[in-house]
Amino acid sequence: MFLIVLVFYSAWASPLELAFPQVSSGSLLVVDLVVDVFFGVDIVVSFSVAYFNSSTYLLVDDRRKIAKRYLTRPWFVMDVASTIPFYIIHRIITGRGNGGSVFGVVNLLRLWRLRRASKLFARLEKDIRFSYFWTRYVKLICVTLFAVHSSACVYYWMAIHYRVKEKTWIGSLIPDFQERSIWLGYTYAIYWSITTLTTVGYGDLHAWNTGEKVFTIFLMLFNIGLTAYLIGNMTNLIVHAATRTFLMRDTIHRVSRFASKHRLPDGLREQTMAHLQLRFKTMELQQEEVIADLPKAIRSTIAQHLFRRTVEATYLFKGVSQEFIVQLVSEMKAEYFPPKVDIIIENEIPTDLYIIVSGAVDVLTSKNGAEKFLSTLGPADLVGEIGVIFNIPQPFTVRSKRLSQVVRISHRHFMQIVQPYNADGKRVLSNFMQFLKELSTDLIEEVAFVPELLKQMNEEGFSEELQHLEASMSNDQETAAQEPLTAAYSSASCDLDKRVTIHGHHPDETSKIGRHAAGKLIFLPDSMEELLKLAVASRELLPNLLSPLLLFALNSSCQFCIFGI
């Protein structure tokens, strides 16, 4: 960074010493020598600085290769030429301090150092620790000041070297301008340069001789490009800052036209607009959009950092293994919902279950066309799991109460993870059954078969089954280290006694009295003979047993449903 300060000094001093030679042999002589010494040291250090090989994408730290590369590049010659103090060497050799304007021109070689400033700004623009807007803005100011300063010094240099001083742009107003102070001439030159750059052109300072006119012509052509560069960059910075706003307004406008064309209800339209606005406000927080281009391992690690504690605090996954949690969290999708937006709609297909990370949601049900409030859920609570686990239409509507973040787990992904983890699957089932027992009466009554299911489990000793489940999980953990993984998977046919619900009709058909029969929950017998005996003993439940058709459907919790038709 210290060298960059010296670069800016060289950019200011070199044109100034061209226009005012007395400065280079006076007050700035010692400063120039010190600056040259520092850049000389930098040349020596450059022989030991590793470089990045663009073809192999490796860092090369071999000093031989570094030295060879530096010596064979053009910038080595330019670095040396811009560092040698020619004026001091000439003064030591000849003993004269006046070398004419030739040393002022040679000193312009120091402007080669400006490439360091260009590289610095290029790095800062890519460095997220610094604002791109202000980095670019400072760069544009530096370019403008350098252009104004350089053109002013060159124009003044042309005036002092013209044979008739009175026929110059400044000599026509101040005949003895060379005997006046340096800052007077510099002020006039800067004034002329700025009025020319800004195309103001008051006319008080203008070209008198042919050389000045030719220089002014080329300067004005250069200023056209410089002005276009400055205006283009400033426009880009301003538009870039407002791009997201334009995108949001265009998207909302298109959705608004869609809603008007299809005559969507006002409530649905407001929900849509609120969701779009929230999406743009939380764009930096959207997990999928921000990290979509990162490698899968990094995405998974980020998900573990963001959501693992919340998942572990969820009742359904308490006590499961760390491997199961890692697999589950890796594919979670984070979403944001503004207040009063439906997350789950009653009777929709159970494609996902949700874990609330922050905020709160209301659980509602519909009764005779009117909504009935059931409960409020908060962070670490689950919604949608009843529909997913029972594989039935979602029994409740879940609506955000305030701004809420949730993570979504797809039904398919959840089932894929449960299958190979036998012990964890039993733990999840145990947690879910315990959760059902602790549900409030209002929630239980909204799922048709759950009250009867809980009643029959209580009658048949559900606490004993849970103890059996705990013992089964302990046995699985003890034998897991001794049996291969495939054997553990094959044993996933369940250590639990399989449970059967027997209906007198197909569950999707209504009974004669206009409502669904709950059926009878029993343990599945060990053989078909015992099953038929059981069917004969239950003739009042299955009246058409002369030609029964028994259909078996196995799901992930090792339960069967038998339909008598």
Across 16-30, 135-149, 174-188, the highest mean pLDDT is recorded for: 135-149
Residue 143 within a domain: yes
Question: Mean pLDDT over all residues of the chain?
Answer: 77
Binned at pLDDT 50, 70 and 90, residue 36 comes out as confident
The predicted model gives 109-119 an average pLDDT of 88
Residue 235 is predicted with a pLDDT of: 86
Residue 555 has pLDDT above 90, yes or no: no
HSE-CB for 314 with a 13 A CA cutoff: 29
Percent of the chain with pLDDT over 90: 13
DSSP string, 56-79: TTEEE--HHHHHHHHHTSHHHHHH
Q: What is the pLDDT of residues 72-91, one digit of tens each?
A: 888 888 888 888 887 777 77
Find the range with the poorest average confidence among 20-29, 187-196, 296-305. Answer: 20-29
The reply to whether 313 and 447 lie within a common domain is yes
Residue 53 has pLDDT above 60, yes or no: yes
The reply to whether 144 and 199 lie within a common domain is yes
- The answer to whether the beta carbons of residues 428 and 364 sit under 8 Å apart is no
Residue 374 within a domain: yes
The reply to whether 46 and 3 lie within a common domain is yes
Q: What is the pLDDT of residues 530-539, one digit of tens each?
A: 655 655 555 4
Residue 1 within a domain: yes
Binned at pLDDT 50, 70 and 90, residue 355 comes out as very high
The reply to whether 310 and 409 lie within a common domain is yes
Residue 314 is predicted with a pLDDT of: 92
| Residue matched to tokens 């969507």 | 264
Residue 391 within a domain: yes
Identify the DSSP state of 524.
P
**274/431: higher pLDDT:** 431
Residue 405 within a domain: yes
DSSP string, 467-492: HHHHHHHHHHHHHHTTS-HHHHHHGG
Across 102-111, 258-267, 294-303, 400-409, the highest mean pLDDT is recorded for: 400-409
Residue 221 is predicted with a pLDDT of: 92
Percent of the chain with pLDDT over 70: 74
Residue 144 within a domain: yes
Between the alpha carbon of residue 119 and those of residues 4, 59, 133, 251, 381, the distances in Å are: 10, 19, 17, 39, 52
The reply to whether 237 and 104 lie within a common domain is no
- Mode of pairing for the β-strands spanning 404-410 and 333-337: antiparallel
Binned at pLDDT 50, 70 and 90, residue 190 comes out as very high
Domain-terminating residue out of 264, 285, 306: 285
Residue-range definition of the domain harbouring residue 16: 1-126
Residue 499 is predicted with a pLDDT of: 53
DSSP string, 270-296: HHHHHHHHHHHHTGGG-HHHHHTTS-H
The reply to whether 308 and 337 lie within a common domain is yes
Q: Tell me the CA end-to-end span of the chain in Å, nearest whole number.
A: 86
The answer to whether the Cα torsion of 123, 70, 89, 157 is positive or negative is: negative
CATH code assigned at 157 = 1.10.287.70
Residue 141 is predicted with a pLDDT of: 93
**536/182: higher pLDDT:** 182
The reply to whether 51 and 151 lie within a common domain is no
The predicted model gives 211-234 an average pLDDT of 91
Residue 149 has pLDDT above 80, yes or no: yes
The reply to whether 146 and 115 lie within a common domain is no
Residue 530 is predicted with a pLDDT of: 62
The reply to whether 264 and 345 lie within a common domain is no
- Number of C-beta neighbours around residue 25 at 10 A: 16
Residue 535 is predicted with a pLDDT of: 57
Binned at pLDDT 50, 70 and 90, residue 99 comes out as low
Q: What is the pLDDT of residues 412-428, one digit of tens each?
A: 888 888 888 888 888 88
Identify the DSSP state of 497.
P
Residue 410 has pLDDT above 50, yes or no: yes
The reply to whether 392 and 334 lie within a common domain is yes
Residue 301 is predicted with a pLDDT of: 86
Domain-terminating residue out of 260, 285, 310: 285
Residue 154 is predicted with a pLDDT of: 92
Residue 556 is predicted with a pLDDT of: 37
Domain total of the chain: 3
**502/481: higher pLDDT:** 502
The predicted model gives 175-185 an average pLDDT of 86
Identify the DSSP state of 131.
-
CATH code assigned at 318 = 2.60.120.10
Residue 197 within a domain: yes
Residue 458 is predicted with a pLDDT of: 62
**241/143: higher pLDDT:** 143
Residue 480 is predicted with a pLDDT of: 41
Taking each helix axis from N to C end, the angle separating 210-261 and 266-281, rounded to the nearest 10 degrees, works out to: 140
Residue 307 within a domain: yes
Residue 158 has pLDDT above 60, yes or no: yes
Residue 261 has pLDDT above 70, yes or no: yes
The reply to whether 8 and 77 lie within a common domain is yes
Residue 176 has pLDDT above 80, yes or no: yes
Domain-terminating residue out of 267, 285, 303: 285
**525/481: higher pLDDT:** 525
Binned at pLDDT 50, 70 and 90, residue 97 comes out as low
The reply to whether 150 and 84 lie within a common domain is no
Residue 159 has pLDDT above 70, yes or no: yes
**491/507: higher pLDDT:** 507
